[in-house]
Amino acid sequence: MKYLEQKGQVIISFIKNHITPVHNSKIALYVLLLFCGWAILAIQFRITCLQIPMNWSQDRCDNLNQLFINLTYSFLAGYVFYLLTIYFPQSKEKKRIQPVIQQKVLDIRKAISDILLEFSRGTDIKKDFLEIDNAKIVLMSKNWTDTIPMFQYLYKARISYLAYIGEVGKKIQKDIVELIQSYQKYMTTEQVCLLEELSSMQIFAFANQFKQMNISLEDKNGKESIVGFFIDAIRKMNEIEDCFSIKNR
């Protein structure tokens, strides 16, 4: 049994390193399992309708059958060992970690929503800030270079809307880096790519480099372009939530 297990592990390793990068891993696995089922039924249990007629000598057929059976049991032993020692433990750990990852994604969403909350003060929009139409209204309602009244009132701090976006953007980028570094093995490639795309959205770069850019926020077209950058970030955030299966927004 130990020999079969070791041999099966070699087969599993070959499949993962050579077959699955080229072909869909699930299809490759299903084909191999189907072959194993055929070998056991046709050779071990001698089910006639599954047997393949061969014009070879009996000894040669027996040797070939024995080879197929050995490969079949080696693969199944290795596959069962993989399930018990790697797949099931990782799946259990991933299920345990998912709520933590989802909460961190929601924290990023809240950071974006907090920006829109400050823009919404004095407007009729009081909730659902990440709805695209609502976001456009509140973002167009303010002069982005003005000081945020709430911050000036509560903290005696003169922070413009634009500077606030820049500071929150830096925090979002830092949180995304930490999230990926800590939990990348529990995330899909698509999830990681979406997070990285959000981190590199134009709105954050613009907020931090506004003085070096030749863009006027007094001009309506210029302002609409920058609002468009923010809307792109909202759309990306919504896409991330869908990818992480976060239903309650």
Domain ranges of the chain: 2-91, 94-243
Share of the chain above pLDDT 90, in %: 37
* Helix, strand, coil distribution of the chain in percent, nearest 5: 75, 0, 20
* Confidence band for 11, pLDDT divided at 50, 70 and 90: low
What does the pLDDT read at residue 4?
Answer: 46
State mean pLDDT over 226-234: 93
Higher pLDDT among residues 60 and 71, named by residue: 71
Average pLDDT over residues 214-243: 84
Contact 176, 194 (CB under 8 A): no
The predicted pLDDT at position 1 comes to 46
Q: Which residues pair with 160 in a beta bridge?
A: 147
Averaged pLDDT, 154-178: 90
Tell me the whole-structure pTM to 2 decimals.
0.70
* CB distance 215 to 222 below 8 Å: yes
Q: What is the pLDDT of residue 23?
A: 46
Q: Which residue has the higher pLDDT, 152 or 194?
A: 194
pLDDT score at 20: 45
| pLDDT for res 217 | 64
**Burial class for 174, CB neighbours closer than 10 Å (0-12, 13-18, 19+):** exposed
Mean pLDDT throughout 132-152? 89
Q: Report CA torsion sign: 224, 225, 230, 233.
A: positive
pLDDT at res. 22: 42
- Asked if residue 111 lies in contact with residue 198, where contact means CB atoms within 8 angstroms, the answer is no
The arithmetic mean of pLDDT across residues 103-117, rounded, is: 95
How many Å apart are CA 221 and CA 227, to the nearest integer?
10
Confidence of residue 67 (pLDDT cuts 50, 70, 90): confident
Q: How confident is the model at residue 96 (pLDDT cuts 50, 70, 90)?
A: very high
